[in-house]
Each structure stands twice: as structure tokens, then as C-alpha cells.
Amino acid sequence: MGHKDMKKTLLAIGVLGAFSVSAYAQNSVTLYGLIDTGLIYTNNQAGHSNWQMATSSTQNTVFGLKGTEDLGGGVRTIFKLEQGFNLNNGSQAFPGDAFGSQAWVGLQSENLGTVTLGRQFDVLNDQLGPITAGSNTWGGNLAAHPFENDNLAADSVVVNNSVKYVSPTYAGVTFEGMYSFSNKAGGFADNRAYGFSVGYAHGPVNLAGGYLQFNNAGGGVSGTNPNGAIAQADGSANFIAERQRIWGAGGNYTFGPATVGFVWSHTQIDNMAGVISLGLGSYLPLGGNLRLDNYEVNAHYSVTSAWSVSGAYTFTDGAYNQGATKASPKWNSVMLQTDYSLSKRTDVYLEGVYQHVHGAPADSVLADAMINTLSPSSTGTQVAVTVGLRHQF
């Protein structure tokens, strides 16, 4: 073979190799995960102080598979299979579910948007959640609003049988819509969910808002379809109720190393049968109707590229009635955190959360403070402090 032929052959091999690498990059399956664990001190859980090892205090501890296949013409197949688990004992975060955190597949088009089908987070959580402290690493699950009543912290409510559409982003605006089937013959509306959200992002400004509704979540009071859109057996339902409606809106602004935000959400829960305590892993009896308005202000500041501090305050204004019993419970919740990154994938944090509730009926679970993921206090006040380690891969 001559020198010129050799050069042509090597060039051809190089070009084929480049196409091969490009094709490989466009069709991939990735194993990923996040581990969040630490020690928590709580001043009052059922009347006793408690030191405990905990997992997912800020972010859900998960492992999963995600992938994509290029179909050509700007269209690709995408999927995600994700399982949440408790690091302290290895148990499933969603008992009985093989992929309880997420399990979906869909098609994504650069021009038309994305459609996904399966078990997914809801549309309000997708766009409004990231503006709250409860949905971020710098606050997380412990900083969720009382009873996680608006589903913005993404630690428990995952919706079954869902079809979700996400639009392309036009001039900074993204729209999402979803419908989640009850999957019950003769009970189309028995444990279904639906909603929409809109987000806007441009430069330092982020805005979002939307609406979400559950009908007979967890089977409702009658328990006729406990494993429809919002399952009861695996703890996906925060409330067992005939109907739950959530409105929300908020925004944040970034200037230099600081971000400040405000979020309002309104939750209406009709004809309840119970509310879940993640700390106990069980439902606490609670009947009647409950209205909650959550007003959150938050701030995050990067002191250096590795060290950050953050805080949030939420005032929750409630209205409760059951027969002749009427009350106006109110919650004050405060979160402070400092975080230090040891590397791009590992960080340590120290976080404190305070919650106080007053004005609730004395014999109701509403009268006991209950920081998200922890067992309830025996009084209207609860304080928790945690030191934790996070690693993602």
C-alpha cells in the first residue's frame, strides 16, 4: 500500500470512528444515584427527645437508570427508572414498589415538546417546586410546608398512570399539562389526578405557577380504589380525602452570589379520612375539611464556590371544620442551613428546623407540630437539628 493510500485509509478510519462515537453519545443508558444520610436530634417526638440516624432529610436517596435513543429528525426516546430507599436499613422508600420514585418512558421532540407515560412527579412540583426551599439541596425535605400539603418538596407524592406533556421553551416560557388515570372500570374519576403549570425563566428571573387536583387520593374516604393515581399502600398519598386542590405561584431573583424567592400556595382538602406521618410510616386519623395558605420567603447565598448558607420562613394560615368544630390553626416554620462541598459530588451540611402551631383543636393531630419526615411532637412546638453527608454518582 502506498503512502497516499495509507493516509486515505487512516482518514477513513478516523471519520468512521468519529461517527461511531457520535452515535454512541446519542444513544445511552446511565446508572445514577444520590445518597443523603446523617444524624438528627429532635427535641420532642411523642413526648421524648430523640437522636436518630436518618436518610433523605434534604434530598431523596435513590438509584436509577436513565437513557435516550436518537430516532432522527430531532426526536428521541427517553426513559427513567428510579428507586428510593432508606440508607439506614436498606428498606424501600415506597414499600412494595420496584421503582417507586419514578418509572416512565416517552418521546421528546425539539420542536413539539415531550410526552411521557408512567409513574411521575406532578406538573406543579416540576416548575413551582424548585423555587421553594423544600425542593432544593439548601433546604430539602425537612423544610417542606406542614404535612407537605402542597406536594412541592418531591419527597413522597409520585403519581401513577400519568400522561404528561412538556412544551418546548418559547421566549423563556414552558408549559406542562398532565392527566393521571384511575385505571378503574366503572370509576373513571375514582382516584385520578390532573393539573397544569407554567414557568418563565430569563436571566436572573424565574417565575412559575399552576394548579393540581386529586380526586379520592388513596381511595378516598370510602377506600374504593386505593391504588389508582395516588396510591395509599406505598405511602404516596399525603392525605386520604375525597378531593384535594392546590393552587400555587412564586418566583425568585438571582443577583451575584445571592438568590431570594417568594412562594404562595393554597391547598383545599375536602372530606378527609387521614394524613400521613412519614416519621411513623402510617396515617393519622383526621376528618373534616382543611384549607391551608402557605407563604414562604427564602434566600440562598454562596459565600465561596464551596460554602453556602440559606434560610426560609413559612407562615401557614389554616381553616379547619368538622361538624360543629371550627378552628383556625396557624404554623410558623423556620429553616437555616450551611453547606460545604468537599468535591463536585460530595458535600456536608448542618441544618436546623423549627415549627410551631397554635389555634388547632386540642384533640386533633393538627395541634401537634410535625416537621416533615419526623414523628409528631406531643406539643405545638418541634425543633430538629441534623448534620448530614450527601454523595451523588
Full pLDDT tens readout for the chain, 393 residues: 554 444 444 444 444 444 334 444 579 999 999 999 999 999 999 999 999 999 999 999 999 999 999 999 999 999 999 999 999 999 999 999 999 999 999 999 999 999 999 999 999 999 999 999 999 999 999 999 999 999 999 777 999 999 999 999 999 999 999 999 999 999 999 999 999 999 999 999 999 999 999 999 999 999 999 999 999 999 899 999 999 999 999 999 999 999 999 999 999 999 999 999 888 889 999 999 999 999 999 999 999 999 999 999 999 999 999 999 999 999 999 999 999 999 999 999 999 999 999 999 998 999 999 999 999 999 999 999 999 999 999
Looking at domain 27-392, its CATH superfamily turns out to be: Porin (2.40.160.10)
User: 39 - beta bridge partners?
Assistant: 53, 387
Contact residues for 223 (Cβ-Cβ < 8 A; gap 6+): 232
Residue 44 near residue 382 (C-beta atoms within 8 A): yes
CA dihedral (269, 121, 198, 295) positive or negative: positive
Distances (CA, A) of 200 to 172, 248, 253: 5, 14, 12
Contact residues for 168 (Cβ-Cβ < 8 A; gap 6+): 109, 110, 111, 112, 113, 174
Alpha-carbon gap, residue 188 to 209, rounded angstroms? 27
Characterise 118 by phi-psi region: left (phi > 0), alpha (psi -120 to 50), beta (else). Answer: left
**b/e 31-56 (16+ beta carbons within 10 angstroms → b):** eeebbbbbebebbbbeeeeeebebbb
